[in-house]
Amino acid sequence: DDNSWSGLSIIDVTGYAATLQRLLINCGYLTALTGIELCTDLEFIYLTQTNFTTFDATPFVNATTLNMSGSNYLNDVAIPSGGVLNTILLIGCALTDTSVNAILAAIRTSGVSGGSCTMNGGTSAAPTGAGITDAAYLIGTMGWTVNTN
């Protein structure tokens, strides 16, 4: 059992806003990233097994991949409704039906085709109402693979 990261709960990335393109962090103690919203050139966002409850990815229109799998407390994620995001991994999270539905709607609005969105496992809710319709549209019309609870 390695507790060398146990004191790490917040990381400040403000000083890297102009140059940060890939963010890869796997830390079960992490609860916040300061300055992340300034890093608009991020292409790959891997924030796995964090203690985040929410994450706003809307500033990251250049990102192709968002992976926050294993973040057991993560119940709300916002993604850009424009941009190039084509791989979304939110496996083993605790997303609400409102968040699941909003993610599916944002993907549909983005116009990106042929991607993959996995939001199963954990206690994440299944899509409801318009979310069910959006998931079917993504799969049938836009060529996405969509996996939900």
What is the end-to-end Cα distance of the chain in Å, rounded? 31
Residue among 37, 149, 136, 29 at smallest CA distance from 95: 149
Residue scoring higher pLDDT (124 or 16): 124
- Token couple for 84: 């190039």
- Token couple for 29: 């103690």
Predicted model pTM: 0.90
Q: Which residues pair with 45 in a beta bridge?
A: 23, 66
DSSP track, 58-77: TT-TT-SEEE-TT-TT--EE
pLDDT in tens, 17-48: 778 888 888 887 888 888 888 888 899 999 99
pLDDT at 6 over 80: no
pLDDT in tens, 72-117: 999 999 999 988 999 999 999 999 999 999 999 999 999 999 999 9
Which distant-in-sequence residues (6+ apart) come within 8 Å of 128 by Cβ?
97, 101
Which distant-in-sequence residues (6+ apart) come within 8 Å of 97 by Cβ?
125, 126, 127, 128, 131
What are the phi and psi torsion angles at 22 (to 5°)? Answer: -130, 130
Q: Where are the alpha helices (DSSP H) in the chain?
A: 97-110, 130-140
